[in-house]
A = this chain, B = another copy of it.
């Protein structure tokens, strides 16, 4: 098959990139392939679906803030049902944590993020289900739990149906005449010399070479430009050519709860319009949970880092003991309503972690564009990333993000990368 632009990966980055590439190049044949049977089936649709504009890196703030505006546009103007819920994000912090992060929070406020700092009394009043002080609880001490002294609440934050979002990009892309081919696995990228001599052994080191498409499970696809957006699978395509994917895969597990004992989490006044808990990040062990309004359930995850191996897994699974032995003990101290509550469902996906600076990468290569290293927050930046990929393809210095802000394309590449490392990683 021949096409102008081949996008490998129908995840959120692949489809948002494909959409903007097709929109800006309507005459070009843009083809998206994915080894799975539908959009977002790799890891995108397994996301917790949280979104926030509270990032310590200004680049991340820009990417997310404009993407969140776009979500609203997609729902209100384009008519997609994305289950967009502005429940907010609530970072629960000890005095020490808050003090350590204060400069970052002030900077974020300076960029215009709507946020509010709640002190302990207000937290207790609004969230009776929360324990803010463990007194002389020996178990809490053993667990190393600090008190909750502050809550930082972000308003332009919440949750979205990541699966629906991915499908919405696909639909928009298809409307423009883009093509998708599922069940089509890219086996390898094809590297060829600019000037083929038809000699065995090409490309030689003295030839200028570039990527000319991919060998797939359904035959070769030739493309002028190949967009590698295969998430955690990008390494398998790029490593054989000695091109870095700037990410390593790490498993993330999610647990869903539906239990009458958790009803207090759906009765929290004064933080959001729904009267529910925001997406809440505990002060310890990177545990977070949020209400999923569509099914009155709680989705809970834990961004464990040290000790959680880097490894590509084809079908990662949640581990039973991970909740009961690990997360539960901390969770139930801060939120005793979880006592004896067990998950009704669990699943796992994989982050493509860029440990250098925890930001995504949109970088050019010979005959290709790499879009990846989402580092666990790709959903909430997807629209900006797609626009940047299209701007890079067009050779533009700047991309226009939704809402009109401009973004220097090279900032998020590699050779002239200019980002602040993200410190508010969840």
By a beta-carbon cutoff of 8 Å, the part of chain A in contact with chain B is 142-145, 191, 195, 197, 201, 203-209, 239-244, 246, 248, 250, 284-287, 302, 304-311, 321, 325-327, 329-330, 353, 355-356, 366, 414-417, 421
A306 partner, pick from B195, B241, B417, beta carbons under 8 A: B241
Q: Please, how many angstroms separate the alpha-carbon atoms of A327 and B242 in the complex? A: 18
CB pair A311–B239 under 8 Å, yes or no, is yes
Q: Which residues from chain B contact A205 at a C-beta distance below 8 Å?
A: 285-287, 302, 304, 326-327, 330
Q: Please, how many angstroms separate the alpha-carbon atoms of A330 and B310 in the complex? A: 41
CB pair A201–B306 under 8 Å, yes or no, is no
CB pair A307–B203 under 8 Å, yes or no, is yes
> Chain B nearest CB: distance from A90 CB in Å?
20
> Chain B nearest CB: distance from A333 CB in Å?
9
> Chain B nearest CB: distance from A308 CB in Å?
4
A242 partner, pick from B145, B246, B309, beta carbons under 8 A: B309
CB pair B246–A355 under 8 Å, yes or no, is yes
Known contacts A144-B208, A208-B144, A285-B206; decide if A246 and B356 are in contact (CB<8 Å).
yes
Q: Which residues from chain B contact A207 at a C-beta distance below 8 Å?
A: 144
Copies in the complex: 2
Known contacts A248-B239, A355-B246; decide if A143 and B310 are in contact (CB<8 Å).
no
A-B pairs with beta carbons under 8 Å apart, 20 shown: A191-B307, A203-B307, A204-B325, A204-B329, A205-B302, A205-B330, A206-B284, A206-B285, A206-B329, A209-B307, A240-B310, A241-B306, A242-B250, A242-B307, A242-B310, A243-B355, A244-B310, A244-B353, A244-B356, A246-B355
Given contacts A144-B206, A209-B307, 18 further A-B contacts (CB under 8 A): A201-B321, A201-B326, A204-B326, A205-B286, A205-B326, A205-B327, A206-B284, A206-B285, A206-B326, A206-B329, A240-B309, A242-B308, A242-B310, A243-B355, A246-B356, A355-B414, A356-B414, A415-B421
Q: Which residues from chain B contact A209 at a C-beta distance below 8 Å?
A: 306-307
Q: Which residues from chain B contact A353 at a C-beta distance below 8 Å?
A: 244
> Chain B nearest CB: distance from A183 CB in Å?
27
Q: Which residues from chain B contact A414 at a C-beta distance below 8 Å?
A: 355-356, 421
Known contacts A144-B208, A201-B321; decide if A191 and B306 are in contact (CB<8 Å).
yes
Q: Please, how many angstroms separate the alpha-carbon atoms of A304 and B242 in the complex? A: 10
> Chain B nearest CB: distance from A75 CB in Å?
35
Q: Which residues from chain B contact A203 at a C-beta distance below 8 Å?
A: 307
Q: Which residues from chain B contact A287 at a C-beta distance below 8 Å?
A: 205
> Chain B nearest CB: distance from A292 CB in Å?
22
CB pair B330–A206 under 8 Å, yes or no, is yes
CB pair A243–B306 under 8 Å, yes or no, is yes
Q: Which residues from chain B contact A250 at a C-beta distance below 8 Å?
A: 242
